[in-house]
Amino acid sequence: MKGKAISEAYWILGFLAAAWLVTLAFLPFASIIFAALLLFTLYFFRDPERTPPEDPRIAVSPADGLVDTIDEVEEPDFLKKKVRRIGIFLSVFDVHVNRSPIQGEITHSEPKPGKFLDARNPRSSFENQSRTWVISGPLGTVAVKQITGAIARRICPWAVVGDKLARGERFGMIRFGSRTEIYLPLEAEILVKKGDKVRGAETPIARLAP
Protein backbone atom coordinates (compact mmCIF):
# COMPACT_ATOMS: atom_id res chain seq x y z
CA MET A 1 0.00 0.00 0.00
CA LYS A 2 3.00 2.33 0.29
CA GLY A 3 2.91 4.97 -2.43
CA LYS A 4 -0.88 4.78 -2.80
CA ALA A 5 -1.41 8.16 -1.13
CA ILE A 6 0.46 10.15 -3.75
CA SER A 7 -1.28 8.21 -6.53
CA GLU A 8 -4.58 9.68 -5.29
CA ALA A 9 -3.19 13.14 -6.10
CA TYR A 10 -1.90 12.65 -9.65
CA TRP A 11 -4.66 14.62 -11.37
CA ILE A 12 -4.56 17.38 -8.74
CA LEU A 13 -0.79 17.68 -9.03
CA GLY A 14 -1.01 17.66 -12.84
CA PHE A 15 -3.56 20.46 -12.86
CA LEU A 16 -1.61 22.59 -10.38
CA ALA A 17 1.68 22.02 -12.21
CA ALA A 18 0.11 23.05 -15.54
CA ALA A 19 -1.47 26.12 -13.95
CA TRP A 20 1.85 27.06 -12.37
CA LEU A 21 3.70 26.82 -15.70
CA VAL A 22 1.06 28.85 -17.55
CA THR A 23 0.93 31.61 -14.93
CA LEU A 24 4.71 31.59 -14.64
CA ALA A 25 4.85 32.53 -18.32
CA PHE A 26 2.00 35.05 -18.40
CA LEU A 27 1.18 36.09 -14.81
CA PRO A 28 4.32 35.65 -12.68
CA PHE A 29 2.70 37.03 -9.53
CA ALA A 30 -0.21 34.55 -9.76
CA SER A 31 2.27 31.70 -10.27
CA ILE A 32 3.29 32.07 -6.62
CA ILE A 33 -0.21 31.00 -5.56
CA PHE A 34 -0.14 27.86 -7.72
CA ALA A 35 3.39 27.04 -6.56
CA ALA A 36 2.21 27.23 -2.94
CA LEU A 37 -0.82 25.03 -3.69
CA LEU A 38 1.40 22.52 -5.47
CA LEU A 39 3.77 22.29 -2.51
CA PHE A 40 0.90 22.01 -0.02
CA THR A 41 -0.68 19.18 -2.02
CA LEU A 42 2.61 17.26 -1.98
CA TYR A 43 2.76 17.86 1.78
CA PHE A 44 -0.85 16.76 2.33
CA PHE A 45 -0.42 13.45 0.50
CA ARG A 46 2.69 12.47 2.47
CA ASP A 47 2.79 8.94 3.86
CA PRO A 48 5.53 8.47 6.46
CA GLU A 49 6.69 5.08 7.65
CA ARG A 50 5.57 4.20 11.18
CA THR A 51 6.58 1.49 13.67
CA PRO A 52 3.90 0.11 16.05
CA PRO A 53 4.72 -0.65 19.71
CA GLU A 54 6.07 -4.13 20.41
CA ASP A 55 3.24 -5.26 22.73
CA PRO A 56 0.75 -7.15 20.47
CA ARG A 57 -2.12 -6.33 22.86
CA ILE A 58 -1.78 -2.62 22.07
CA ALA A 59 -4.29 -1.23 19.57
CA VAL A 60 -2.69 1.67 17.74
CA SER A 61 -4.35 4.82 16.46
CA PRO A 62 -5.93 4.39 13.02
CA ALA A 63 -5.18 8.04 12.13
CA ASP A 64 -3.14 11.13 12.89
CA GLY A 65 -5.04 13.93 14.58
CA LEU A 66 -6.66 15.20 17.77
CA VAL A 67 -8.70 12.97 20.09
CA ASP A 68 -11.98 14.82 20.58
CA THR A 69 -14.34 12.03 21.68
CA ILE A 70 -14.08 9.15 24.15
CA ASP A 71 -17.37 7.57 25.13
CA GLU A 72 -19.53 4.45 25.11
CA VAL A 73 -22.13 4.03 22.37
CA GLU A 74 -24.36 1.40 20.86
CA GLU A 75 -23.01 0.29 17.47
CA PRO A 76 -26.15 -1.13 15.82
CA ASP A 77 -25.00 -1.66 12.24
CA PHE A 78 -21.91 -3.90 12.30
CA LEU A 79 -20.78 -4.90 15.80
CA LYS A 80 -24.36 -4.76 17.12
CA LYS A 81 -23.40 -4.10 20.75
CA LYS A 82 -22.25 -1.40 23.13
CA VAL A 83 -18.63 -0.38 22.51
CA ARG A 84 -16.02 2.18 23.48
CA ARG A 85 -15.66 4.87 20.83
CA ILE A 86 -12.61 7.07 20.26
CA GLY A 87 -13.06 9.90 17.75
CA ILE A 88 -10.10 11.59 16.05
CA PHE A 89 -10.37 14.88 14.15
CA LEU A 90 -7.93 15.29 11.25
CA SER A 91 -7.08 18.82 10.14
CA VAL A 92 -5.71 19.55 6.67
CA PHE A 93 -2.23 19.55 8.23
CA ASP A 94 -2.44 15.93 9.48
CA VAL A 95 -1.41 12.79 7.60
CA HIS A 96 -4.64 11.38 6.13
CA VAL A 97 -3.63 7.77 5.56
CA ASN A 98 -5.66 5.37 7.73
CA ARG A 99 -4.09 2.27 9.28
CA SER A 100 -5.30 -0.89 10.96
CA PRO A 101 -5.31 -0.61 14.77
CA ILE A 102 -4.87 -4.37 15.21
CA GLN A 103 -3.61 -7.42 13.36
CA GLY A 104 -6.53 -9.12 11.69
CA GLU A 105 -8.69 -9.81 8.67
CA ILE A 106 -11.11 -7.35 7.10
CA THR A 107 -14.49 -9.05 7.51
CA HIS A 108 -16.65 -6.14 6.39
CA SER A 109 -16.21 -2.89 4.47
CA GLU A 110 -19.24 -0.80 3.62
CA PRO A 111 -19.71 2.79 2.39
CA LYS A 112 -22.66 4.92 3.52
CA PRO A 113 -23.99 7.98 1.65
CA GLY A 114 -24.63 11.13 3.61
CA LYS A 115 -23.99 14.81 4.21
CA PHE A 116 -20.73 16.78 4.38
CA LEU A 117 -21.02 18.52 7.74
CA ASP A 118 -17.92 19.91 9.44
CA ALA A 119 -16.08 16.87 10.85
CA ARG A 120 -15.96 18.58 14.28
CA ASN A 121 -19.76 18.54 14.43
CA PRO A 122 -20.92 15.60 16.62
CA ARG A 123 -23.70 14.90 14.09
CA SER A 124 -21.08 14.16 11.41
CA SER A 125 -20.50 10.74 12.98
CA PHE A 126 -23.90 9.45 11.86
CA GLU A 127 -25.04 11.97 9.19
CA ASN A 128 -21.96 12.33 6.98
CA GLN A 129 -20.81 10.13 4.14
CA SER A 130 -18.62 7.40 5.63
CA ARG A 131 -17.11 3.95 5.27
CA THR A 132 -16.93 1.42 8.11
CA TRP A 133 -14.31 -1.33 8.28
CA VAL A 134 -14.63 -4.33 10.59
CA ILE A 135 -11.34 -6.04 11.45
CA SER A 136 -11.20 -9.34 13.36
CA GLY A 137 -8.00 -10.72 14.85
CA PRO A 138 -6.62 -12.97 17.59
CA LEU A 139 -7.50 -10.43 20.30
CA GLY A 140 -11.01 -9.63 19.13
CA THR A 141 -12.92 -7.45 16.69
CA VAL A 142 -12.78 -3.69 16.20
CA ALA A 143 -14.36 -1.31 13.71
CA VAL A 144 -12.88 1.79 12.11
CA LYS A 145 -15.13 4.43 10.57
CA GLN A 146 -13.80 6.90 8.00
CA ILE A 147 -15.98 10.04 7.96
CA THR A 148 -15.90 12.83 5.39
CA GLY A 149 -16.03 16.51 6.32
CA ALA A 150 -17.01 19.84 4.81
CA ILE A 151 -13.82 19.89 2.71
CA ALA A 152 -12.97 16.18 2.58
CA ARG A 153 -15.44 14.64 0.18
CA ARG A 154 -13.76 11.46 -0.96
CA ILE A 155 -12.88 8.29 0.93
CA CYS A 156 -10.23 6.24 -0.88
CA PRO A 157 -10.37 2.53 0.07
CA TRP A 158 -7.24 0.52 -0.76
CA ALA A 159 -8.09 -2.83 0.85
CA VAL A 160 -10.97 -5.26 0.38
CA VAL A 161 -12.87 -7.80 2.46
CA GLY A 162 -10.68 -10.83 3.07
CA ASP A 163 -7.41 -8.91 3.20
CA LYS A 164 -5.23 -9.71 6.20
CA LEU A 165 -3.64 -6.62 7.74
CA ALA A 166 -0.69 -6.26 10.05
CA ARG A 167 -1.06 -3.84 12.94
CA GLY A 168 -0.43 -0.37 11.53
CA GLU A 169 -0.85 -1.43 7.89
CA ARG A 170 -2.45 1.08 5.53
CA PHE A 171 -5.97 0.39 4.25
CA GLY A 172 -7.11 3.74 2.83
CA MET A 173 -7.24 7.51 3.22
CA ILE A 174 -9.63 10.47 3.26
CA ARG A 175 -8.92 13.51 1.14
CA PHE A 176 -8.58 16.95 2.80
CA GLY A 177 -9.67 17.18 6.44
CA SER A 178 -11.92 14.58 8.04
CA ARG A 179 -12.71 12.36 11.01
CA THR A 180 -11.84 8.79 11.97
CA GLU A 181 -13.50 6.79 14.74
CA ILE A 182 -12.52 3.45 16.26
CA TYR A 183 -14.95 1.18 18.08
CA LEU A 184 -13.39 -1.07 20.73
CA PRO A 185 -14.67 -3.77 23.12
CA LEU A 186 -15.93 -2.42 26.45
CA GLU A 187 -13.21 -4.32 28.31
CA ALA A 188 -10.44 -2.52 26.41
CA GLU A 189 -8.26 -0.25 28.55
CA ILE A 190 -8.21 3.23 26.97
CA LEU A 191 -4.71 4.75 26.90
CA VAL A 192 -5.49 8.24 25.54
CA LYS A 193 -7.57 11.18 26.72
CA LYS A 194 -9.47 13.99 25.03
CA GLY A 195 -7.11 16.62 23.66
CA ASP A 196 -4.26 14.17 22.95
CA LYS A 197 -2.48 14.36 19.60
CA VAL A 198 -2.08 10.89 18.10
CA ARG A 199 -0.12 9.39 15.21
CA GLY A 200 -1.51 6.58 13.06
CA ALA A 201 0.13 3.15 13.57
CA GLU A 202 2.32 4.55 16.34
CA THR A 203 0.32 5.95 19.26
CA PRO A 204 -1.12 3.31 21.65
CA ILE A 205 -4.80 4.10 22.11
CA ALA A 206 -6.01 0.98 23.93
CA ARG A 207 -4.81 -2.25 25.51
CA LEU A 208 -6.99 -5.20 24.55
CA ALA A 209 -7.90 -7.95 26.99
CA PRO A 210 -6.11 -11.27 26.35
Does 104 have pLDDT greater than 90? yes
Does 175 have pLDDT greater than 90? no
When pLDDT is cut at 50, 70 and 90, the band that residue 177 belongs to is low
More confident site: 108 or 121: 108
| Annotation says 31 is catalytic | no
Name the nearest CA neighbour of 116 among 129, 103, 101, 107: 129
Assess if residue 183 is contained within a domain: yes
Assess if residue 52 is contained within a domain: no
Does 182 have pLDDT greater than 90? yes
Same domain, 110 and 78: yes
Same domain, 109 and 179: yes
Same domain, 32 and 82: no
What does the pLDDT read at residue 173? 94
Same domain, 163 and 78: yes
Same domain, 158 and 87: yes
Assess if residue 69 is contained within a domain: yes
Assess if residue 74 is contained within a domain: yes
What does the pLDDT read at residue 161? 97
Residue 19 CA to residue 72 CA, distance in Å, equals 48
Same domain, 9 and 64: no
Same domain, 22 and 70: no
> What DSSP line would sit under the chain, residue for residue?
-TTHHHHTTHHHHHHHHHHHHHHHHH-HHHHHHHHHHHHHHHHHT--------S-TTEEEPSSSEEEEEEEEEEETTTT-EEEEEEEEEE-TTS--EEE-SSSEEEEEEEEE--B---TTSTTHHHHB-EEEEEEEETTEEEEEEEE--SS---EEE---TT-EE-TT-EEEEESSSEEEEEEE-TTPEE---TT-EE-TTTSEEEE---
pTM for this model (two decimals)? 0.91
CATH number at residue 175: 2.70.70
Given 100, 109, 130, 178, the catalytic residue: 178
Same domain, 191 and 148: yes
Once rounded to an integer, what is the mean pLDDT over residues 85-104?
A: 95
Containing domain of residue 92, as a range?
58-207
Burial class from Cβ neighbours inside 10 Å (0-12, 13-18, 19+) for residue 203 reads buried
More confident site: 178 or 17: 17
Same domain, 92 and 13: no
Assess if residue 53 is contained within a domain: no
51-60, 100-109, 117-126, 188-197: which range is least confident on average? 117-126
Once rounded to an integer, what is the mean pLDDT over residues 151-155?
A: 79
Same domain, 155 and 82: yes
Residue 168 CA to residue 127 CA, distance in Å, equals 28
Assess if residue 51 is contained within a domain: no
Q: How many domains does the chain contain in total? A: 2
Does 152 have pLDDT greater than 70? no
Same domain, 75 and 173: yes
